[in-house]
Amino acid sequence: MAKIFIVEDDQRTALLIRDNLQAIGHTCVTLTSSAHAIEAARAENVDLAILDVMMPGGQCGFELCRRLRADSQLYALPILLLSAMTGDEEIMHGLAQGADDYMKKPFAVQNLLQRVAALLRANADADAPDEITSLLNANTTKREVQKRVSRQDVFALACAELVYLREFAYKCGADARLKAIRHLARALSRCGKDIEDDTFAVGHMGGGHFITIVSPAQIDRYCKHVARSWKAHLPALYESLGLTRKYEEAVTGKVTGEAIPLLEPLICVTTRHPHDAMSSQEMFDVLIKIRSNALATGGAGIHVDRRS
């Protein structure tokens, strides 16, 4: 079972939560203020945090959530916020601080227990590498982005994928699709090592989608390096799949029989600048919009957020 961290200034509510969690086998660490919460969470090696939003004096639950997400030891900790503030704006604000879930007060105990169980299940593989690529998994990648946002770091975020991967898989099979995904994963990782960027991290978000974190000073170089490396590697990928002839046809346009699409990378980039208030979710939303526009106008290539 798990060790649950409860920060709640109302003693009756804190005891209600603690007693019900302990009744099903969990261990609980309870604080009535956020004053020493970070230190306590580190010392107790907790598995999940339940934070009240409205606490008298000191830091509110929103601020404590941000501090947990910015902490190098605790940034992956699942966080459930509790609050009597029930408006959509407050809920969205809480989630933007890095919380995994938000419950309104008063709450049903059984609902709370179900939410806790769901968060623990979802984060059971937090430290495990992605099964397909051995890169960071999707949850860890999101946590890594949130940590840097909470620390107010300056960094660039890039999403990468292979255009026409779905069509390629339809004609060449699931194994060929997985091989292409793994090859792109290795290319993204290798290019990150080549630029020797201390801020670099790359994770597999599922399917053929990847998220890369790079310093703004290196993002242009990195993206161009990935594009060049993939282009140079592509003949070897098609050859390994027995598709050398189809590759040559795709490159030259002289197609005989059924055409096989050419896998080209689409890379979309946004940057978090100094004093930028953009949350991690807003950064992901910007990348989604850039991707949508890119696919509508041709797809492959490097597409950068030009708002700044």
pLDDT at residue 308 greater than cutoff 70: no
β-bridge partners, 264: 163
> Which CATH code fits 138-304?
3.30.70.270
Which pLDDT tens digit goes with each residue over 41-71?
999 999 999 999 887 666 788 899 989 988 8
Cα–Cα distance, 67 to 58 (Å, whole number): 13
Tokens read off for 219: 């993002």
Mean pLDDT of 160-171: 93
Cα–Cα distance, 300 to 308 (Å, whole number): 23
pLDDT at residue 211 greater than cutoff 80: yes
Q: Write down the pLDDT at residue 58.
A: 62
Q: Write down the pLDDT at residue 186.
A: 97
| Mean pLDDT, the chain, whole residue set | 91
pLDDT at residue 16 greater than cutoff 70: yes
Calculate ∠ Cα 174-177-178, nearest 5°: 90
- Closest by Cα among 278, 271, 142 to 210: 142
Q: Write down the pLDDT at residue 222.
A: 98
Tokens read off for 23: 């009744």
Q: Kindly list the domain boundaries of the chain, sorted by start residue.
A: 3-122, 138-304
How far CA 242 is from CA of 181, 235, 238, in Å, comes to 17, 10, 6
Using 50, 70 and 90 to split pLDDT, how confident is the model at 92? confident
Instruction: Give the other-Cβ count within 10 Å of 114's Cβ.
Output: 11
- Half-sphere CA count of 175, side-chain side, radius 13 A: 3
Q: Write down the pLDDT at residue 185.
A: 97
CATH fold for domain 3-122: Rossmann fold (3.40.50)
Mean pLDDT of 8-15: 92
Question: DSSP character for 9?
Answer: S
Number of H helices and E strands in the chain, helices first, is 11, 10
> Phi and psi for 218 in degrees, rounded to 5?
-110, -5
How far CA 267 is from CA of 9, 38, 160, 216, in Å, comes to 46, 37, 4, 15
Q: Write down the pLDDT at residue 1.
A: 87
Mean pLDDT of 253-270: 88
Calculate ∠ Cα 228-249-298, nearest 5°: 55
Q: Write down the pLDDT at residue 281.
A: 86
Calculate ∠ Cα 135-130-25, nearest 5°: 130
Label residue 299 left, alpha or beta by phi (over 0 means left) and psi (-120 to 50 means alpha): left
Exposed / middle / buried, residue 32 (Cβ in 10 Å: 0-12, 13-18, 19+): middle
pTM of the complete model: 0.81
Q: Write down the pLDDT at residue 163.
A: 92
Q: Write down the pLDDT at residue 93.
A: 83
